[in-house]
Amino acid sequence: MILSCLVIVWACSINEPEQKTVKVVENNDKDLGLISVDVKNNKDVLGAMPEYSKDAPGAAKTIDRSFENAPPLIPHSTEGLVPITKANNMCISCHMPAVAAALKATPIPVSHLTNYRPEVKLNNGKVDIASSKKVVAHDLDGKLSMARYNCTQCHVPQAKIDVAIQNKFEAVYRDTSAIKKSNLSNNIKEGVR
């Protein structure tokens, strides 16, 4: 009798869910980087705040890309140009290929005028991505892909700064023309099978 009671007590105890304590930690801007200081307000790390270009479009000297197919920096003032919305994008008024040459502006590359998103279909209530193992490239006939309308998501104003934290990164370009120009649309399928 005692043995059967012990077996029942033991069986009940192994079926009880284990209580776990979850610790909630709130992050702030200081906790998100590789260093644990407030970069914006710590002059030992950043020195003086960066001075961004105040030059008019076409007047500034451009800084080369940091690596092959890195988004180029914006060499001119962005005052009055941001924030960018779908309905209001001043960048395209100078950088669309149809007008860029006449304005001596850098034309938006073909990769921004192409839709790389795969076709999505519903199949019996489930999402089915057609051609999921292929790079899909649909030419948009000279129209900007709405996946790329927010220019400042990738392109930032250039600034000359001195940083206390040095790195040894060296950009390697397979083709020297990639220092000034994107070749992403030519090699976007690299590594995809």
Is residue 98 within 8 A of residue 105, CB to CB? The reply is no
Q: Where are the domains of the chain?
A: 55-111+146-185
pLDDT score for 30: 54
pLDDT for residue 190 is more than 70: yes
Give per-residue pLDDT as tens, 18-44. 555 655 556 565 555 666 666 666 666
Decide: pTM greater than 0.75. Answer: no
Query: What would you report as the CA-atom Rg of the chain, rounded to the nearest whole angstrom?
Result: 27
pLDDT for residue 125 is more than 70: yes
For residue 188, what pLDDT band results from cuts at 50, 70 and 90? confident
User: If we measure between CA atoms, which residue out of 182, 164, 167, 176 comes closest to residue 46?
Assistant: 164
Class for domain 55-111+146-185, per CATH?
A: mainly alpha
pLDDT > 70: what percent of the chain? 70
Give per-residue pLDDT as tens, 68-120. 999 999 999 999 999 999 999 999 999 999 999 999 999 999 999 999 888 77
For residue 9, what pLDDT band results from cuts at 50, 70 and 90? very low
Strands, E assignment, the chain: 51-52, 114-115, 120-123, 126-129, 138-139, 159-160
pLDDT score for 88: 93
pLDDT score for 97: 96
